[in-house]
Amino acid sequence: MQDETLAEKTGLFISFEGGEGAGKSTQIRTLAEALRGRGFEVVVTREPGGSPGAEAVRHVILSGAAESFGVRMEAILFAAARNDHVEEVIRPALARGEIVLCDRFLDSSRVYQGTTGNLEHDFIETLQRIAIDGVVPELTLIFDIAAEKGLARARKRADEGATPDRFEKEEIETHEKRREAYLDIALAEPRRCRIVNADQPEDKVTEDVMSFVEPLLERAGNAADAAHE
């Protein structure tokens, strides 16, 4: 009976994935605003980061300070940050029946450290299993755009004052390889993943995102009601 009660109180976990400049952050903000307008409790978070411990690791990774230690150490740092994020932010929010919107999650490690970092599949999957400890997104939206166009967007942000991180500085071939890896994940896990065409007007992308999220909202509303009983 206890497990059934916990299941009833589980909120909704949605992760947003894709390459640099795909527009994930904009769509997360738009979706969060729309959901709050409909009365849902929403937690917006990101990786690497999202919790105090994970944010400290984020600075180390994105600054490039850990790069000299190799991709294996970097993957371990990502996993440690993810575990702190899950236990301190995501799992408690889901237990309260809230909707969690996360900018990047486990698929980013599969793509960035696994596919283009050339780490062994089994090593990455073992790290992820330990890091997430059973907390898997119910829906993963993969924002797809040609690497050249995505990088052009990222460079425009840099021209407007944003500092490019070490991943945005890599070769276009590397970014295109990551795009293909994300599409492979979507094909391999069609029940969890949905591909969003990010190379279209912003309002159309928003419509597509909502079309994927809408079917899940009734259950999320029931979970929120149960959590407050």
Q: What is the pLDDT of residue 152?
A: 86
Strands across the sheet containing 12-18: 42-46, 99-103, 12-18, 139-144, 193-197
Per DSSP, the chain holds a count of helices (H) and strands (E) of: 10, 5
Task: Report if pTM > 0.95.
Answer: no
Give tens-digit pLDDT for 143-162: 999 988 988 887 776 665 55
Q: Residue 91 half-sphere exposure, CB side, CA atoms within 13 Å? A: 13
The CA distance from 157 to 161, in Å, is 7
Contacts of 180 (CB under 8 A, 6+ apart): none
Q: What are phi and psi of 194, to 5 degrees?
A: -130, 135
Residue 5 has pLDDT above 60, yes or no: no
Q: Which one has a higher pLDDT value, 36 or 219?
A: 36
Residue 171: helix, strand or coil by DSSP? Answer: coil
Specify the pairing of strand 99-103 against strand 193-197: unpaired
Distance CA 26, CA 5 (A): 35
